[in-house]
Copies of this chain bind each other. A is one copy, B any other.
Amino acid sequence: MGNRIGFIGLGIMGQPMALRLIEAGHELAVFNRTPEKAKPLEAAGARVAATPADAAHDADFVISIVSDSAAMEEVALGKQGALETIRKGAIFIDSSTISPTVSRRLACHAAGKGASFLDAPVTGSKHGAEKGELTFMIGGDREAFDRGLPLLRTLGKKHIYCGAHGAGLSAKLAQNTIQSTMVEIFCEGFVLAAKAGVRPETMFEIIQSSMARAALTDFKAPFIFKGDFTPYFPLKWMHKDLTLAMEAAYAQGVPMPAAAAVKEVYAAAKAQGKGDLDYAAVVTFLEELAKVRVRTTEAAAEG
Name the interface size band of chain A.
35 or more
A185 at the B interface (CB under 8 A) = yes
A297 at the B interface (CB under 8 A) = no
A71 at the B interface (CB under 8 A) = no
A212 at the B interface (CB under 8 A) = yes
A50 at the B interface (CB under 8 A) = no
A192 to B259, CA, bound (A): 11
Partner of A290, one of B175, B247, B252, B290: B252
A151 at the B interface (CB under 8 A) = no
The 8 A CB mask of A173-184 against B (1 = contact, 0 = none) is: 111011101101
Query: In the bound complex, do residue A291 and residue B271 qualify as a contact, i.e. CB atoms below 8 Å apart?
Result: yes
Query: In the bound complex, do residue A211 and residue B215 qualify as a contact, i.e. CB atoms below 8 Å apart?
Result: yes
Partner of A256, one of B160, B255, B264: B264
Q: How many chain copies does the complex carry?
A: 4
Partner of A254, one of B137, B171, B203, B290: B290
* Chain B hits for A259, CB < 8 A: 185, 188
Query: In the bound complex, do residue A212 and residue B255 qualify as a contact, i.e. CB atoms below 8 Å apart?
Result: no
Within the complex, the shortest CB–CB distance from A284 to chain B, in Å, comes to 13
A209 at the B interface (CB under 8 A) = yes
* Chain B hits for A253, CB < 8 A: 195, 267, 270-271, 290-291
Given A212-B215, A215-B213, A286-B255, A249 contacting B192 (CB threshold 8 A): yes
Within the complex, the shortest CB–CB distance from A64 to chain B, in Å, comes to 20
Given A158-B209, A261-B260, A173 contacting B192 (CB threshold 8 A): yes
Partner of A177, one of B135, B189, B246, B257: B189
A166 at the B interface (CB under 8 A) = yes
Closest to A179 in B: B212
A167 at the B interface (CB under 8 A) = yes
A144 at the B interface (CB under 8 A) = no
* Chain B hits for A178, CB < 8 A: 185-186, 188-189, 207, 212
Closest to A213 in B: B215
Give chain A interface residues in 255-287, CB to chain B under 8 Å: 255-265, 267-268, 270-272, 286
A214 at the B interface (CB under 8 A) = yes
Within the complex, the shortest CB–CB distance from A294 to chain B, in Å, comes to 11
A-B contacts, 15 of them at CB < 8 A, read A160-B205, A161-B202, A162-B202, A170-B193, A170-B197, A171-B202, A185-B259, A188-B259, A213-B214, A213-B215, A213-B216, A214-B215, A253-B267, A254-B267, A255-B289
Given contacts A178-B189, A185-B185, A212-B216, 15 further A-B contacts (CB under 8 A): A160-B205, A162-B198, A163-B196, A166-B197, A171-B198, A171-B206, A174-B198, A178-B212, A181-B181, A211-B214, A255-B289, A257-B261, A257-B268, A260-B263, A271-B290
